[in-house]
Structure 1
């Protein structure tokens, strides 16, 4: 499901968000020479219409852009979560408690 903020976004905002996600996904942080970025910009320009024109393809393109944006954001979140919680072998009880937000009781010796 698409996030409500994504659904309400304008095509320009969707394009900017898509390019930002591509920038975050790129190891060197630049999309200047990215074929994907050039293709996405070209597709958004191809389906750009004026206020007087009603174009179903533009709406479909915007929806497709939102879908790709959701996919890229989900992939980035998946990688972040996997990196944080990936199996590193056995963990201590204290590490596991800290990971889920619990505190262990103190031993009053």
Structure 2
């Protein structure tokens, strides 16, 4: 019984973290939004399904953690791309950054 309660607690924590991540990415993600309602409905439906049908142990929790990892990674990627965007540098600009000078071209 205690094991089931612990599993339920970790699943709830995972869902809470997913919701927090989605709020960081989408400011319109609120308890009134359709996405929020869908997520909570799926969480409730999964609790019933897990009890009725013999899914692999912790299957839904594993999927939720995988989804959490995906949205966290996507958010971090977007943050890094925004931070470091600016286009590529030319060979001359790159050489100057490291203190080198390219030889003069003779046409």
TM range (shorter): 0.5 to 0.7
Q: Any idea what SS the aligned residue of 1:10 has?
A: helix
Offset, 1:57: 6.2
Q: Any idea what SS the aligned residue of 2:86 has?
A: coil
Q: Aligned partners of 1:58, 1:25: CA distance in 2, in Å? A: 31
Partner of 2:30: 31
Q: Aligned partners of 1:45, 1:81: CA distance in 2, in Å? A: 35
Q: Aligned partners of 1:20, 1:53: CA distance in 2, in Å? A: 29
RMSD: 3.2
Q: Aligned partners of 2:17, 2:56: CA distance in 1, in Å? A: 20
Q: Aligned partners of 2:73, 2:86: CA distance in 1, in Å? A: 20
Offset, 1:68: 1.1
Q: Any idea what SS the aligned residue of 1:90 has?
A: coil
Q: Aligned partners of 1:23, 1:31: CA distance in 2, in Å? A: 7
Relative to the length of structure 1, the TM-score reads 0.60
Offset, 1:34: 2.2
| Runs of 5+ consecutive residues of structure 1 not aligned to the other structure | 1-8, 98-103, 105-109
Equivalent pair of 1:17/1:69 in contact (CA under 8 Å): yes
| Runs of 5+ consecutive residues of structure 2 not aligned to the other structure | 1-8, 100-107
Partner of 1:13: 13
Q: Aligned partners of 2:79, 2:86: CA distance in 1, in Å? A: 14
Q: Which has the larger radius of gyration?
A: 2
Q: Aligned partners of 2:12, 2:44: CA distance in 1, in Å? A: 10
Relative to the length of structure 2, the TM-score reads 0.61
